[in-house]
Amino acid sequence: MVPKIILPALNSTGNAFISLLFPNHCLVCNGGEIQSCDPICSGCFQKLTCIQIKNRVQELTIKDDIDVALSGWDFGEILRPVIHSLKYQERAKIGKFLGEKLGERLKSYSFPKMDYLIPVPLHPVKYRDRGFNQAEWIAIGLGNELGIKVIPHLMKRVKYTISQTTLNRKERLENMKLAFRITKNVKEKNIGIVDDVLTTGSTISSMATVLKDAGAKSIVALTVATPLEKANDTYT
């Protein structure tokens, strides 16, 4: 049995400390479940729009070197504030929770072999400002459920990129050009890249190209959500 990956911050006293910092209220309805430490109550979680677990790579605007793209839920009005809270309000444990839930869904899908998972990295400046990488926490939860090793620092973001919210396809490609470098040998490896939301695919595609150029065999994009209404693609 593959051991679960647990960050020290979530063990014993760390768990209690986080609970004190973040009282257990549902991030959607602001209600609470006394006997649950989940950041989303069961009622609200059931309202999330599940999407079919299938390869969505052809739906991406930028899909170079991505072999498979899998997402669990629609990035709609219920999930949007949850992801926003994860990314901007320093609630790291939400990422682990969402990663575990995504893993539960993926277990029923015959996903391609993956030797390990890597999170989309943050530039050191953004990491310093935010204090954590939300994609890394998602990857940890996902890796726990699927029994796949997570290697957080296999890739580094070496270029500070501006927000892609208002950029068109050409601008996004230029923005991500030469943004990443590899720190380990990936030859013949099958790699899953984990992030919160998959929109155009520009970030993961940029990573995938670097990995393929270094000899990686296949790349799977794994995200909690993707917007079904691509016309409203304003999230990065």
Asked if 147 and 184 count as a contact pair (C-beta separation under 8 A), the reply is: no
Residue 36: pLDDT over 80: no
Taking only the tens place, the pLDDT of each residue in 140-194 is 999 999 999 999 999 988 765 545 455 555 655 555 566 788 889 999 999 999 9
Query: Residues 63-79: pLDDT tens digits?
Result: 999 999 999 999 988 88
Domain boundaries, the chain: 9-47, 49-232
Domain at 49-232: CATH architecture = 3-Layer(aba) Sandwich (3.40)
For residues 26 and 166, the answer to whether their CB atoms sit within 8 Å is no
pLDDT at residue number 20: 46
| 225 pLDDT higher than 90 | yes
